[in-house]
Amino acid sequence: MDAIDRQLINLLQEGLPICPAPFRDLATQLELSEAEVIERLKMLLADGTLTRFGPMYHAEQMGGALTLAALKVPTERFDAVTEIVNAFPEVAHNYQRTHELNMWFVLATETPEQVDVVIAAIQAQTGLKVYNMPKQREYFVNLKLDA
Amino acid sequence: MLDALDRQIIQLTQAGLPLCPEPYAEMAQQLGVDAETVMQRLRAMQTDGIIRRIGAVPNHYKLGYRYNGMTVWDVVDDQIDILGAKVGQLDFVSHCYHRPRHLPEWPYNLFAMVHSKTETGVQDQIDQIAAILGTYQRSHEVLYSTRILKKTGLRIEAR
The pLDDT value recorded for residue A146 is: 76
Please check whether residues A117 and A90 belong to one and the same domain. Answer: yes
This prediction has a pTM of 0.85
Tens digit of pLDDT for each residue in A42-76?
A: 999 999 999 899 999 888 888 889 999 999 999 99
Q: What are the residues facing B30 on neighbouring strands? A: none
> Which of residues 27 through 86 in chain B touch A, CB cutoff 8 A?
35, 39, 42-43, 45-46, 48-60, 62-63, 65, 70, 80-81, 84-85
Task: Using CA coordinates, name the residue in chain B closest to A53.
Answer: B56
ipTM for the predicted complex: 0.83
Alpha carbon of residue B138 to chain centroid: 27
Please check whether residues A70 and A128 belong to one and the same domain. Answer: yes
**List of chain A residues whose C-beta atoms are within 8 Å of the C-beta of residue B50:** 57-58, 61-62
Kindly list the domain boundaries of chain B, sorted by start residue.
4-47, 61-144
Mutation for testing the A interface, residue in B12, B79, B91, B155 having most A CBs under 10 Å? B155
C-alpha distances out from residue B94 to A141, B73, B75, B116, Å: 6, 16, 19, 11
The answer regarding whether domain B61-144 maps to CATH 3.40.50.2000 reads no
Please check whether residues A39 and A82 belong to one and the same domain. Answer: no
Q: How many CB pairs under 8 A join A and B?
A: 234
Task: Using CA coordinates, name the residue in chain B closest to A9.
Answer: B56
Q: CA A124, CA B56: separation in Å to the nearest integer?
A: 35
Domain encompassing residue A8: 3-46
Tens digit of pLDDT for each residue in A68-97?
A: 999 999 999 999 999 999 999 999 999 999
Contact B67, B117 (CB under 8 A): yes
Three-state DSSP state, B108: coil
Residue B22 to residue A21, Cβ atoms within 8 A: yes
Contact A84, A126 (CB under 8 A): yes
Considering only the C-alpha atoms of chain A, give the largest distance between any 2 of them, rounded to a whole number of Å. 55
Q: CA A67, CA B46: separation in Å to the nearest integer?
A: 22
pLDDT in tens, chain B (159 residues): 789 999 999 999 988 999 999 999 999 999 999 999 999 999 999 999 999 999 998 888 889 999 989 999 999 999 999 999 999 999 899 899 999 999 999 999 999 999 999 999 999 999 999 999 999 999 999 999 999 899 876 666 655
Q: Where are the alpha helices (DSSP H) in chain B?
A: 4-13, 23-31, 35-47, 80-88, 119-133
Residues in CB range of B81: below 8 A, 6 or more apart: A137, B98
Protein fold of B4-47: Arc Repressor Mutant, subunit A (1.10.10)
Residue A134 to residue B100, Cβ atoms within 8 A: yes
